[in-house]
A = this chain, B = another copy of it.
Amino acid sequence: MKKALEFEIHDRLPGALARTGTITTPHGIIQTPAFIPVGTKATLKALTPEQLSETGAQAVLANAYHLYLRPGHDIIDQAGGLNEFMHWDKPTFTDSGGFQVMSLGVGFKKIIDMDGKTDERPLGKKEKLAWIDNDGVKFKSHLDGSMHKFTPELSMQIQHGIGADITFAFDELTTLHHNYEYQVESLHERTHPWAVRSLVEHQRLNEVRTHRPPQALFGVVQGANYEDLRRECSKFLGAMDFDGYGLGGAFTKENIGEITGWMCQELPENKPRHMLGISEPDDIFDCIENGADTFDCVSPARVGRNGALYTKFGRVNVTRAQYATDFTSFDADCDCYTCQNFTSAYLHHLFKSGELLSNTLATIHNERFIIRLVDDIRRSISDGTFYDFKQVFLNNYYSK
């Protein structure tokens, strides 16, 4: 059988875990480190696939939970898979839905209910929209309140129906509010066994579904901010036949680099590592330095739609009054379509008028900004200027 994924390491950062590489998938290659924009519902909000491609995006990440609920993974399967469905010819990822069934499943409050035992905020009966046991997660749809249950097997069936090149094992997302005992129980009784069940079902599906390109599966490391649990989980999953690893769960800004290092020191070196849901520049530098290869996050697009645009001096809101009569590019250093063709005054006008094009232009700029940052980090690893680049970039970015 054709291999689902190959990973080649090119350059390494002396004295650190950072490296550059190439991930090869049935839909093309990803030069790493790389930032992967998120197209939750099989669309990067407000962008055509061509516009997304022009930002330099090498791949897109969609979401199993949302696509299971609507339109249904069977429909994407019938369409010929995610690439065909959304008219995107580059690599694709899907996350497992684990995060969403636990966060969206409790009514967008991002509180995960564990029978009220461990969460700092006690949940009223009405708010309880997700129930976790060792078999899986029952949850109410955020769309219509209907009841559903995700198991590792169903998550893999959904992800194979969607047909992304890179899929993720179904895991339990814990938060920093859960105590050590809960984290241990979660790892041993759910995240570890669920990883095994995900892998078994994934391998079965890859064997049955011969009409489709083989898909890759990343195991997802949990363990919150506990070094022993992070290392244990990394070793446990690292010994299994995953094609790569997701770095999941809860971090604080202070320790995200350190935690990434614990995981990447234990994980097999020759497999790619994907940091889930991170796009803040300082976090990106820290994670790459400690061994992360790829990133995804909705944030660049989401804050952009609210008018907050990245600059080398941090995020700036283009709705500020000063931009009403600023007839220069918003970011003179930027090579994106938006900055090359429109002024701050025009962007300001679009946002103030609530015009749909504001979403498109802001998203293009923000995705391009983060993608280019990670591309520049890649180059800085190759040419040995990583630490200089990091210092200059972060000094500017957090100077205001």
Contact = CB atoms under 8 A, between A and B. Distances in A.
A325 B78 contact: yes
A341 B87 contact: yes
Interface residues of A, number: 39
Contacts of A343: 79, 85
A357 B48 contact: yes
Contact of A45 (B75, B86, B324, B357): B357
A359 B66 CA distance: 20
A327 interface: yes
A110 interface: no
Q: How many copies does the complex hold?
A: 2
Interface stretch (A199-207, A344-352, A384-392): A344-352
Nearest to A355: B43
Interface string A323-361: 011010000000001000111011011101101110111
A47 interface: yes
Nearest to A72: B324
Interface string A48-79: 11010000000000000010001100010011
A159 to B, nearest CB: 18
A41 interface: yes
A340 to B, nearest CB: 9
A337 B50 CA distance: 11
A106 interface: no
Nearest to A346: B85
Given A70-B352, A70-B353, A75-B349, 17 more contacts: A42-B346, A43-B355, A43-B356, A46-B46, A46-B356, A46-B357, A46-B360, A47-B357, A48-B51, A71-B324, A71-B352, A75-B345, A78-B325, A78-B327, A85-B345, A87-B341, A360-B360
26 contacts: A41-B355, A42-B346, A42-B349, A43-B350, A43-B357, A45-B355, A45-B356, A46-B46, A47-B357, A48-B360, A48-B361, A70-B349, A70-B352, A71-B324, A71-B345, A71-B348, A71-B349, A71-B352, A75-B345, A85-B343, A85-B346, A86-B346, A87-B346, A356-B356, A356-B360, A360-B360
